[in-house]
Amino acid sequence: MTLIAEYIPIETQDEEGGTVKTSEFKIQPNEFQKWAHKAFVSSDGYGQARLRLLSIDRERTRLEIAAQFRGESTSMVPATGRYYESTGAFESQLAARIHAYVILNKYPKLLQLVTGCNFRWNEQIEHYEISGVEPGSFGEAQGFQNGDIVIQLDGINMTMENFFATLVSIEQTETKTFFLDRGGKGVLLEATIFYLPNDLPWFGFHVGRDIETGRFQVTDIIEDSPAEDAGLMVGDLLLQEEEIPLAGWYEYYRAMSGARVGVERNFLIWRDGSERWLTMRAEPPRS
């Protein structure tokens, strides 16, 4: 399913043997430069991959991905010459997406949890590490840093087998204590994990947080949404939701988790030098 989602065609697959071979797929110039050694700056390219699933023990399997790439000819007929050696970047990206697909299918409840970061399995050290922490994000506010290695959660050693099972046991917003390895030094970090109901109401807008001011700014309005109907505009600053001042990500998610379908919600915004209140009626989540 991950290959299909990435528009990578499958040539052969052997479910019994656990192997998949892809057909050639087109690669854009920037991807070709990243994925293939000796790539020319302006080259398009083609790739082909082989995947094999190996059993490590009764509970674990290992996915091997081998990829190779070739440049596109400048003539009308695509080249059929030798392949360039892979840099490994494509394999790492594909493995991460396959891992995420498997995990979310096994633990769909993870979509209801907000930590502010991603957890990526590091095959070399056999631990999950922190990724996806952006400047000004909730993850940065929590204290996570990209590359942090998760050793323990609430005093329990974390492994591939128990990490996500531990997370999905959360039934309400909780503060958890992470013990992290950060550049060889141990770090204790208390982080809030927000539990959002799977029927979380929908308003139809997105926000980003300005790094310098710390304010939440509307970045997108969905057409025919409660936000559009209420008159919310891109560029508006969100100051408060109901009685909760939106001083940071913690307050933002606390306010969000209090919304209910069919119930009006009041937002204080800043626009053109003045404050104003807007009222939106929350709708059921859209697929």
- Residue 232 to residue 218: CA distance in whole angstroms: 8
Look at the block and give the residue holding tokens 């991950």: 2
Same topology, domains 2-104 and 107-195? Answer is no
Mean pLDDT of 168-191: 94
The sign one gets for the Cα dihedral 97, 257, 210, 150 is negative
Of 55, 72, 73, the residue nearest 64 (C-alpha): 55
- Residue 176 to residue 193: CA distance in whole angstroms: 7
- pLDDT for residue 258: 86
Task: List, for residues 242-267, the tens digit of each pLDDT value.
Answer: 999 999 998 999 898 888 889 999 99
Task: List, for residues 185-194, the tens digit of each pLDDT value.
Answer: 999 999 999 9
Asked if CATH classification 2.30.42.10 holds for the domain at 205-281, the reply, yes or no, is: yes
Of 192, 213, 208, 210, the residue nearest 257 (C-alpha): 192
Which CATH superfamily does the domain covering 107-195 fall into? PDZ domain (2.30.42.10)
- Residue 221 to residue 233: CA distance in whole angstroms: 7
- pLDDT for residue 76: 39
Of 54, 76, 71, the residue nearest 63 (C-alpha): 54
Minimum mean pLDDT range among 83-87, 176-180, 222-226 = 83-87
- pLDDT for residue 100: 73
pLDDT higher at 149 or 99:
149
Q: Which tokens is 176 given?
A: 């958890």
Q: Where are the domains of the chain?
A: 2-104, 107-195, 205-281
pTM: predicted TM-score of the whole model, two decimal places = 0.66
Confidence of residue 77 (pLDDT cuts 50, 70, 90): very low
Asked if CATH classification 3.30.1890 holds for the domain at 2-104, the reply, yes or no, is: no
Look at the block and give the residue holding tokens 């970045």: 219
Q: What is the DSSP letter of 283?
A: B
